[in-house]
Amino acid sequence: MIYIKTDAEVELLREANQLVSKTLAEVAAHIRPGVTTRQLDTIAEEFIRDHGALPGFKGYAGFPNTLCTSVNDEVVHGIPSDYELRDGDIISVDCGVILNGWNGDSAYTFAVGDVKPEVLRLMEYTRASLEAGAREAIAGNRVGDISHAVQTKAESGGYSVVRTLVGHGIGKHLHEGPEVPNYGKRGSGTRLDRNLVICIEPMINMGTKNTRVQSDGWTVRTGDGKPSAHYEYAVAVREGKPDLLTTFEYIEEVLIKR
């Protein structure tokens, strides 16, 4: 179902998504070689509960944790564990909260220590593909305009776009309509109306676009073992320019000090 929000509801969604942004910054401050993904998960859960919210993913469709932590060739939906981050890893941290009944959802891919230049380039292109997609989230455009912009940017770097997972509407439910694929044709798909709120979340692979689900039933990996990156914004569709409900500024303040 697609639910167009009122202006007041967009502000409630902004509060939820700002809390996700701050939670990811709290996680960012603890990312280093030797930390376990379970420790990051605990930090996030405590931070969210301390701010009067609930972890949005924990228990969602049976997912066991607060964060999805996806390392290197893991695309998304990695389950926090005793795995200790190593120098040279990259990790996508995806976080959801429920604040006053409204969902926030955002993801950021972090470098752990010294990451190979070709992997940093994958991260840069993935981030740029998100920004390119978000610029199209304006009233009167269609979902395909976002999809096309993401795909064009990612493929211009020589990368492939994951097809098996897509972005989504967000509101009282974590996943609402419409689906927001990261590939597609300009001018196609659902029309973007003012105050539609969507999550745009490119998952971009260095090698094959194909993915497989690990035997835990959750972790999605690349088909060839090459790395994947993932960034996600919640965006309210507005006239003329998109209204980003997510900000990466808190994360980047933390990263710049390191």
- Which residue, 117, 68, 109, 69, is CA-closest to 90? 109
Q: Is 98 in the site for Mg ion (CB under 5 A)?
A: no
- Which span sits near Mg ion by CB under 5 A: 29-37, 150-158, 224-232, 242-250? 224-232
| Shortest separation between residue 181's beta carbon and Mg ion, angstroms | 13
- Which residue, 204, 123, 195, is CA-closest to 160? 204
| Shortest separation between residue 175's beta carbon and Mg ion, angstroms | 7
Whether residue 23 contacts residue 44, with contact meaning beta carbons closer than 8 Å, is answered with yes
Contacting Mg ion (CB under 5 A), which of 26, 73, 89, 94? 94
Q: In the sheet where 74-76 sits, what is the strand order?
A: 74-76, 220-222, 211-213
- Which residue, 125, 132, 127, is CA-closest to 156? 125
The span from the CA of 100 to the CA of 39, in Å, is 26
Q: Is 136 in the site for Mg ion (CB under 5 A)?
A: no
Number of residues that bind Mg ion (CB under 5 A): 5
Q: DSSP alpha helices (H): ranges in 72-159?
A: 117-134, 143-156
- Which span sits near Mg ion by CB under 5 A: 33-41, 46-54, 179-187, 231-239? 231-239
Say whether the peptide bond before residue 227 is cis (omega within 30 degrees of 0).
Answer: no
| Shortest separation between residue 114's beta carbon and Mg ion, angstroms | 27
When the beta carbons of 56 and 184 are compared against Mg ion, the nearer one is 56
Q: Is 176 in the site for Mg ion (CB under 5 A)?
A: no
* Contacts of 3 by beta carbon, 8 Å cutoff, 6+ apart: 169, 171, 172, 176
Q: Is 105 in the site for Mg ion (CB under 5 A)?
A: yes
- Which span sits near Mg ion by CB under 5 A: 100-108, 127-135, 178-186, 188-196? 100-108
The span from the CA of 17 to the CA of 12, in Å, is 9
When the beta carbons of 72 and 109 are compared against Mg ion, the nearer one is 109
When the beta carbons of 73 and 232 are compared against Mg ion, the nearer one is 232
When the beta carbons of 154 and 235 are compared against Mg ion, the nearer one is 235
Strand, helix or coil for residue 86: coil
| Shortest separation between residue 113's beta carbon and Mg ion, angstroms | 25
Contacting Mg ion (CB under 5 A), which of 25, 107, 150, 154? 107
Whether residue 30 contacts residue 77, with contact meaning beta carbons closer than 8 Å, is answered with no
Q: Is 74 in the site for Mg ion (CB under 5 A)?
A: no
Q: Is 204 in the site for Mg ion (CB under 5 A)?
A: no
| Shortest separation between residue 34's beta carbon and Mg ion, angstroms | 26
Q: Is 199 in the site for Mg ion (CB under 5 A)?
A: yes
Q: In the sheet where 228-230 sits, what is the strand order?
A: 160-161, 203-205, 228-230
Residues of this chain that interact with Mg ion (CB under 5 A) are: 94, 105, 107, 199, 232
